[in-house]
Amino acid sequence: MRCVVTGAAGFIGSHLGEHLLEHGHDVVGIDCLTDYYEPRIKEANLGPLQGHPRFTLHREDLLTAPLPDLFAGADTVYHLAGQPGVRPSWGAHFADYAVRNVLATQRVLEAARSVELGKLVYASSSSVYGNAETYPTVETLRPQPVSPYGVTKLAGEHLCELYRMGFGVPTASLRLFTVYGPRQRPDMAFSRLVSAAVHGTRFELYGEGTQTRDFTFVADVVRAMSDVARSDFTGVANIGGGSRTSMNEVIDIVSGLAGSIEVHRLPTQRGDVRDTAADTRVAFEGFGYVPTVSLTEGLASMVEAERLAGVAA
Ligand code: NAD
Ligand code: UGA
């Protein structure tokens, strides 16, 4: 099958590309390597994909790329490209969030109308919930984002639902809960924490460390994406890791795996939610989703990857 992956050079997109190639698919990647974080990191993410005979990369912006041509003959479009990051989405930065998360998604959906897709999988976000009223949180709870980023991810999701119901585009929006694993974005907590433990640098902790997240290993996420593409499921589903852990607990686990960490405390950041926890029954019933990687296993794989990168450098 032919698959399109937008955001193929990113953290999750590069893992998804590898997974799809391993399972025998042809993969067309689209990514313009934005400078949200260093593009050379994204070049490195592409390393395992480039050179594969069934992978092609179009280094183009979704805002201007000839999407109907790129989508022609595709069975699935995985739409992961976007401006990530909860905390920097305030003020003047919001324009990038509006353009890359809302306008780009609308352009993807317009192009999807012109081709016969089996599925359009959209990487939505737990940030749509804000500080949810109940945990674990179900998809039917009214979303109340507390960051501009969350507002744009919710707008993208609403657009998917609109094109699904209005034009029959078979969209599946997966609300991903804090994804981690090797190649995690450098602005995210675990990549910084593992780097601090392995290299003996300082970790800046926002708040008291009592905030909790339903952390989800990237291999579980890419499997959920490819499974939903092959299922009849359309609509919105949570994808979580199966447990809820505080940052203080995570710091203890990483210290145990890689050595003690110097923690420098900073205030809670604007836009951060207090807690997240996914009710994943919709994903289980819709396409058999069950998370398989425990937090300790997943963190151990990050520590190993960080050590190997240090040896290779
Ligand atoms: P990432 O920044 O590593 O990957 C996103 C990629 O999209 C980047 O390589 C970037 O260059 C590309 N991109 C952005 N705008 C583009 C455009 N207009 N045209 C072409 N390419 C463009 O981020 P990630 O952590 O891999 O996240 C991937 C997606 O999953 C994002 O949409 C994000 O909102 C969503 N998501 C991520 C998490 C998480 O915990 N990482 C959780 C929930 C949702
Ligand atoms: C993550 C991703 O960055 C978003 O792209 C995604 O949409 C979101 O998950 C989601 O689930 O929808 P976040 O939960 O903030 O956002 O993930 P991290 O950056 O890993 O932060 C986790 C916790 O660690 C937060 O409480 C944050 O404040 C804290 N943190 C982060 C630190 O204490 N120090 C840091 O240097 C970074």
Q: Is the pLDDT score of 313 beyond 80?
A: no
Catalytic entry in 36, 78, 122, 149: 149
pLDDT tens string 154-183 = 999 999 999 999 999 999 999 999 999 999
Query: How would residue 310 be classed by pLDDT, with cut points 50, 70 and 90?
Result: confident
**Is the distance from CB of 29 to CB of 53 less than 8 angstroms?**
no
Do you find a cis peptide bond into 136, omega within 30 degrees of 0? yes
pLDDT tens string 219-229 = 999 999 999 99
Q: In a mutational test of the pocket of ligand 2, which residue from 213, 261, 265 has the highest number of ligand atoms less than 8 Å from its CB?
A: 213
CATH superfamily, region 2-312: NAD(P)-binding Rossmann-like Domain (3.40.50.720)
Q: Which ligand is nearest to the CA of 179?
A: 1
User: What does the angle CA 270 – CA 273 – CA 277 come to, to the nearest 5 degrees?
Assistant: 165
Averaged pLDDT score across all residues of the chain: 97
Q: Which ligand is nearest to the CA of 177?
A: 2
Averaged over 281-305, what is the pLDDT? 98
Rounded CA-CA distance 207/268 in Å is 4
Active site (annotated) includes residue 149: yes
- The rounded Å distance from CA 292 to ligand 1 centre is 23
Q: In a mutational test of the pocket of ligand 1, which residue from 18, 19, 36 has the highest number of ligand atoms less than 8 Å from its CB?
A: 36
**Is the distance from CB of 42 to CB of 113 less than 8 angstroms?**
no
Per-residue pLDDT at 250: 98
Report percent pLDDT > 90 for the chain.
98
Averaged over 19-37, what is the pLDDT? 98
* SS3 label, residue 128: helix
Neighbour-count burial for 87-97, b at 16+ CB within 10 Å, e otherwise: ebbeeebbebb
Q: Is the CB of 89 under 6 A from ligand 1?
A: no
pLDDT tens string 79-95 = 999 999 999 999 999 99
Q: Is the pLDDT score of 258 beyond 80?
A: yes
Query: How would residue 76 be classed by pLDDT, with cut points 50, 70 and 90?
Result: very high
Q: Show Cβ contacts of residue 21 under 8 Å, excluding neighbours closer than 6 positions.
A: 27, 49, 52, 54, 55
Averaged over 57-82, what is the pLDDT? 98
Per-residue pLDDT at 312: 75
Count CA atoms within 13 Å of residue 132 on its CB side. 22
Q: Is the pLDDT score of 311 beyond 80?
A: no
Q: Is the CB of 172 under 6 A from ligand 1?
A: no
Averaged over 205-214, what is the pLDDT? 98
Averaged over 191-206, what is the pLDDT? 97
Q: Is the pLDDT score of 109 beyond 90?
A: yes
**Is the distance from CB of 76 to CB of 115 less than 8 angstroms?**
no
